[in-house]
Structure 1
Amino acid sequence: MPPRSHELRDLLTRNSVPFEFYAADSETGLRLIDEFTLDVERLPAVIHYDGSVQHDPSLADVAAAHGIQTRPPRGVYDLAIAGAGPAGLGAAVYGASEGLRTVVFEPHALGGQAGTSSMIRNYLGFPRGISGGGLALRAWEQALLFGAQFVFMNEVTGLSPRGDTVVMTLGDGSQAVARAVIIATGVTYRRRDIPTRTT
């Protein structure tokens, strides 16, 4: 299975988007290729509920097709947060609840690494535990209610000062400006380049 298929399936799974996957050479896959006139040279393809098709889309393309904001609106934010894990979501709730114009940038999925945990037992306020996805969803809803904005599938790749503000360069080349920035990017596991031996 091509790595792009894994990447797209991981995106949808981590963001709790329901989907079905069919290999191109399966009976259903062959039927869908014929029914939607899919270009087999540009797989994987995403078929949306409305019948529209995206051939080999980027993660941002898939997100945008679901109505997800992938580029920041113009203007100066009081607070910008890189990362929507528990720390970033907590900062968004507190910042927005104090009336700060707040934006959160998340390149992958709500909840970060914690969002994939089946049970978190050491988080304040949940003595019986809560799933990582459940915790992230509650925090996201709370931040939205206070007016925080979220930009998904776009990461902060650079910071530079401009007077009393900070200019953030994003992965797609766009920029956002804020008076304060919190970096809450969490953990990324490094993989060693060790050959795999099969028996």
Structure 2
Amino acid sequence: MKKYLSKSSMFFLTLLFFASLTSSFIIILILINKNIIIDSSNFDLVQLLIRSSFTLIGASISAGIALILFSMQKHREEDAKERVQLLHVQKIKEEYTKNIEVANKLFDAMNPFESKAFAERLIGEDVKIKELILIYYTQLDFSLYESLVKDLEYNPELTELVTVISRLILIDKYLNVLLNNISDPKPMETLLDLIKRELSFIRELS
């Protein structure tokens, strides 16, 4: 739901404002005419009506124009904000698509190997395997998502991607640990199983 009033709502409020103002003026004149507020014998009601009408109409028009201009400005600000939001979502989707491609390539590279054999090759200083993992690790990029997502309002389309993005970020962390912090075959095998499971999950979702 929009934070600001729609054009139809503003038109209705403006009409209501003028109607209320006119009704109040008529009631006051009736009260004056009935000597409830002021003794009408001391006033020419016709002259009072004419003189007051110009002031009342001028004030009403000014207030109405100010209200309309304020509404238009708010709508322009809201439209500009929505355009920025859509642009940010589009950038995140483009980054997401690239990361999905990297994840699928990594899955294709790892899937033919058993985790135990893969771990043994990594520990055995297999340069090609390490370079392969390093290439895919460096290609994963979440800079746009991390910098823009905090400024985005609720977006159903983006919400559907967040689950996959969170899994991609988890894989990125696993790869970092795999490359830099593990030298024991068993923990490495376990971590490789986790990476392959997440990659498989991502492939199914995407």
TM-score by length of 1: 0.23
Scaled by the length of structure 2, what TM-score is found?
Answer: 0.22
Task: Report the structure, 1 or 2, having the larger helix content.
Answer: 2
